[in-house]
Amino acid sequence: MSASTLSVLLTYLRPLAWAVLLLAALLLVGTGLNLYLPQILGQFIDHAKLGAGANLALLGRLALLYIALAIAVQLLMAGATYVGAQVGWKATNTLRADLLAHMLSLDMHEHKERTPGEMIERIDGDVTALSNFFSQFAVRVFGAGLLLAGAVVMFFRINVWVGLSVSTFVALTLLLMNVVRGAGVEPTRLERESSAKLFGYIEERLSGLDDIRALGAGPHHLRGFLQVQREFFERSIYSWQKRSVVWQLSMGLFLVGYVGILSAAVGLYAAGSITLGTAFLLYQYMSMIEEPIDQLTQQLQELQKAGASLVRVGELLALKSHLPTGTQDLPSGPLALHLSHVSFSYAPDSPTPQTVLRGIDCVLPAGQTLGLLGRTGSGKTTLTRLVARLYDPTEGRVCISGIDTRDIRLPSLRQRVAVVTQDVQLFQASVRDNLTFFDPTVSDERVTNALQEVGLGQWLATLPDGVATPLAAGSLSAGQSQLLAFARVMLQDPGLIILDEPSSRLDPATEAQLTSAMQRLLSGRTAIVIAHRLETVARADLILVLGAGQVLEYGLRQTLARNPQSHYAQLLQAGAADVEAVLA
């Protein structure tokens, strides 16, 4: 077992120490009884061989004892299997939770490099492979080791030379299997990678299913799917072939072992050195050696799978966030924002960095609203990502309430800065869970008040179970989804809100309802509103216009509106519904 495998085992099995001790006790007692059963059979055969002179009462007692102990062995092994499964699933559920929490702590750089499907396969698929390893390895490998050691001891009790021969055979078998064990690790790792690639491909195509159908691109993507599936199939077959070498070697070695032990039994019985019952014992204990080595063989294949999964899990756990958390907390109430000479590039260390923002300076006082305008690609969304600290600026500082975002604790920042995007993510869960993100500490009364505050009181009254009503997929309009997102923010009660084009997909009537809800949402809070419609920022205190990543205009909205030379005034004069057309 490698050091990394042992480290993972100790880390996640240590909290389950009592369950592991119970498992060990069940295995010890069960193995001891299993080793004693052939002794009863040997005595039964030796007494039954006497024929008419056999003690029938003794034979009956031996038979009943054998049946009782055999049942006890089965019950103990069933209990060990149950406890082992409990230990395995609890350990791997903890690992899965730790892995998910670690991935959520990483910045956007890491998440952009992998598809959601690949991440699902890594977090769930690889850990599920480990769950089989955790739940079965202790029961089967530890139990097999005990049974193997006990059977060898029994051979020594019968005959020292037979014991030495069997010990040599066992040592040679285990050595050879360990030599060939590593052959399957790398092919299995490649199999897991191709599985993740397949899941990622499927997830991407399902996400874009409407576009694929509309453009008639189904045959092309089907061919791509078959290619990815073929790669996964070929790697699966190849890795299975490599892992099966251990099993094939075990079968060949035990063919030789059985011939040897039967020859020894016949020779010793013919020489009068052992009884017929003892000769039977030699065969029984040889089968007890085959069974644990066969278990070890199977678990070595599982160990190869687990080894490959551990490598991939280790790669994820080794990833470090580019956004280390700070130590300061944000205060309560509305938060001021100050951008000082902020520049940002994607992949700044690459030979061709993509510079998105250049020298942005902006001050947003606490409790005021900033309208952020600019054509697509001007850097609006990237700027808000810096404020929410999904990225850190390449140059300059982003300060909230006078504190550099690098110095703010990330949990505090996430609690006090809320982002509402135009694509609202809803879960197939109840209304309450969608608003609270499954937080049971939030009362139903608070959820109801938040919905009424954003104008969804009448909609809530139509639901049969109120806030406990499940939300069916696709059951809400774009406006209702956006209002639900507003209600989420109200429950969070942040000091700074970022609205990313909240009305971009709404009709005028729904937009008017959304605007009314937005006014209530932003009351007493600092806000940044990205908009392509001027009506959305008609009540903003400040306007910031971006172009090619630079500040084209910044100032008080009313001042800019009165200046006929300003970009904002030109937009108002044109009655522009499309900011991009005017700023182009």
| DSSP bridge partners of 555 | 543
Backbone angles phi, psi at 503, to 5 degrees: -115, 20
| DSSP bridge partners of 430 | 470
Residue of 5 and 167 predicted with greater confidence: 167
Instruction: Give the span between the Cα atoms of 242 and 244, in whole angstroms.
Output: 6
Instruction: Give the span between the Cα atoms of 409 and 573, in whole angstroms.
Output: 45
CB atoms within 10 A of CB 91: 26
Per residue in 510-553, pLDDT (tens digit) is 667 777 788 888 888 999 998 777 777 888 899 999 988 899 99
Tokens of 249: 């070697």
| DSSP bridge partners of 399 | 338, 404
Asked if the model's pLDDT at residue 504 lies above 70, the reply is no
Report which secondary-structure segment, H or E, holds 553: strand 550-556
Write down the architecture of domain 3-318 according to CATH.
Up-down Bundle (1.20)
Tokens of 460: 């809530």
Q: What's the half-sphere exposure (Cβ side, CA atoms, 13 Å) at 402?
A: 1
Q: What is the arrangement of strands in the sheet containing 496-500, beginning at the earlier edge strand?
A: 417-420, 496-500, 526-530, 369-374, 542-547, 550-556
If pLDDT is split at 50, 70 and 90, which confidence band does 582 have? very low
| DSSP bridge partners of 363 | 338
Instruction: Give the span between the Cα atoms of 551 and 444, in whole angstroms.
Output: 44
Q: Are 127 and 309 in contact (CB under 8 A)?
A: yes
Instruction: Give the span between the Cα atoms of 256 and 43, in whole angstroms.
Output: 28
Angle formed at CA 434 by CA 429 and CA 439, multiple of 5 degrees: 100
Q: What is the arrangement of strands in the sheet containing 403-404, beginning at the earlier edge strand?
A: 354-364, 337-346, 395-400, 403-404
Q: Domain locations in the chain?
A: 3-318, 337-425+499-505+526-583
Residue of 442 and 211 predicted with greater confidence: 442
| CA 341, chain centre distance (Å) | 38
Q: Which CATH class is domain 337-425+499-505+526-583?
A: alpha beta
- Three-class SS state of 530: strand
As a residue count, the chain comes to: 584
Report which secondary-structure segment, H or E, holds 48: helix 17-48
- Three-class SS state of 399: strand
Residue of 575 and 1 predicted with greater confidence: 575
If pLDDT is split at 50, 70 and 90, which confidence band does 303 have? low
pLDDT of 343 reads 93
* CB contact set of 580 (below 8 Å; sequence gap of 6+): 375, 376, 532
pLDDT of 302 reads 66
217, 219, 222, 228 alpha-carbon torsion, rounded to 10°: -90
Q: According to the per-residue pLDDT averaged within each range, which of 99-103, 362-366, 427-431 is highest?
A: 362-366
Write the single-letter amino acid at 393.
P
pLDDT of 407 reads 93
pLDDT of 330 reads 93
Of 488, 523, 491, 519, nearest to 503 by C-alpha is 519
Region for residue 329 given its phi and psi (left: phi exceeds 0; alpha: psi -120 to 50; beta: otherwise): beta
44 exposed, middle or buried (CB, 10 Å; 0-12, 13-18, 19+)?
buried
Per residue in 239-297, pLDDT (tens digit) is 887 777 777 777 788 788 878 888 888 888 788 777 777 777 777 778 777 777 777 76
Asked if the model's pLDDT at residue 216 lies above 70, the reply is yes
Residue of 2 and 472 predicted with greater confidence: 472
Per residue in 312-348, pLDDT (tens digit) is 777 777 777 777 888 899 998 999 999 999 999 887 6
Per residue in 361-420, pLDDT (tens digit) is 999 999 999 999 888 888 888 999 899 988 889 999 999 999 999 999 988 998 899 988
First to last CA, the chain: 63
Write the single-letter amino acid at 178.
N
pLDDT of 544 reads 92
Asked if the model's pLDDT at residue 5 lies above 60, the reply is no
- What's the pTM? 0.63
| CA 32, chain centre distance (Å) | 40
- Three-class SS state of 241: helix
Per residue in 42-86, pLDDT (tens digit) is 777 777 766 655 677 887 888 898 889 889 988 988 888 888 778
Please state, for a pLDDT cut of 90, what percent of the chain lies above it.
14
Residue spans of alpha helices (H) in 53-184:
56-105, 108-112, 116-120, 127-136, 143-158, 160-181
pLDDT of 338 reads 95
Tokens of 518: 């937005």
Asked if the model's pLDDT at residue 583 lies above 60, the reply is no
Backbone angles phi, psi at 371, to 5 degrees: -90, 120
pLDDT of 580 reads 46
Q: Are 556 and 542 in contact (CB under 8 A)?
A: yes
SS3 for 59-97 is: HHHHHHHHHHHHHHHHHHHHHHHHHHHHHHHHHHHHHHH
Please state, for a pLDDT cut of 70, what percent of the chain lies above it.
86
